[in-house]
Amino acid sequence: LSLVSAMNRVQLLGRVGQDPIMRQVEGKNPVTIFSLATNEMWRTGDSEVGQGGESALFLCNLGDVSQKTTWHRISVFRPGLRDVTYQYVRKGSRIYVEGKIDYGEYTDKNNVRRQATTIIA
């Protein structure tokens, strides 16, 4: 019997893009916010299969390496984790983040409706 009907879970390993900031909106709990960059790398082009010692096969990728960087907005609400993140995490730090995806909407200063994707850690 499984009680889980759905799951919203994200695991990221990357580098922090800016020193975390702590914000507090009146009447709400503070939140620590920072950006995290993750890199995805792959080879494009042809592959070649070769044979090594003792009949071992190996795959040689002859293509170019391509890379894509994705930026993620991370929000930390839990009091202990929020404070440690704010105090010790710095721009360039390599960290692991686990949380859930949150989709939201807001209206910017030009009265334009925007969508935002945030990882809640």
The enclosing domain of 16 has a CATH number of 2.40.50.140
Tens-level pLDDT at each residue, the chain (121 residues): 567 778 999 999 999 999 999 999 888 899 999 999 999 988 876 555 555 555 565 556 567 888 999 999 999 999 999 999 999 999 999 999 999 999 999 999 999 999 999 999 9
Specify if 103 maps to a domain. Answer: yes
Phi, psi dihedrals of residue 88, rounded to the nearest 5°? -115, -25
Q: What integer pLDDT is reported at residue 61 of this predicted model? A: 57
Q: What integer pLDDT is reported at residue 28 of this predicted model? A: 87
Q: What integer pLDDT is reported at residue 114 of this predicted model? A: 95
Q: How many CB atoms lie within 10 A of CB 63?
A: 11
Q: What integer pLDDT is reported at residue 110 of this predicted model? A: 96
Q: What integer pLDDT is reported at residue 30 of this predicted model? A: 96
Q: Model pTM? A: 0.76
Specify if 51 maps to a domain. Answer: no
Q: What integer pLDDT is reported at residue 65 of this predicted model? A: 84
Non-local (6+) Cβ contacts of 121 within 8 A are: 74, 75, 76, 78, 81, 85, 97, 98, 99
Specify if 71 maps to a domain. Answer: yes
Specify if 16 maps to a domain. Answer: yes
Domain that holds residue 105: 11-43+65-120
Domain count, the chain: 1
Q: What integer pLDDT is reported at residue 59 of this predicted model? A: 57
Nearest Cα to Cα of residue 74 among 23, 9, 26, 120:
120
Specify if 50 maps to a domain. Answer: no
Specify if 86 maps to a domain. Answer: yes
Specify if 49 maps to a domain. Answer: no
Q: What integer pLDDT is reported at residue 60 of this predicted model? A: 60
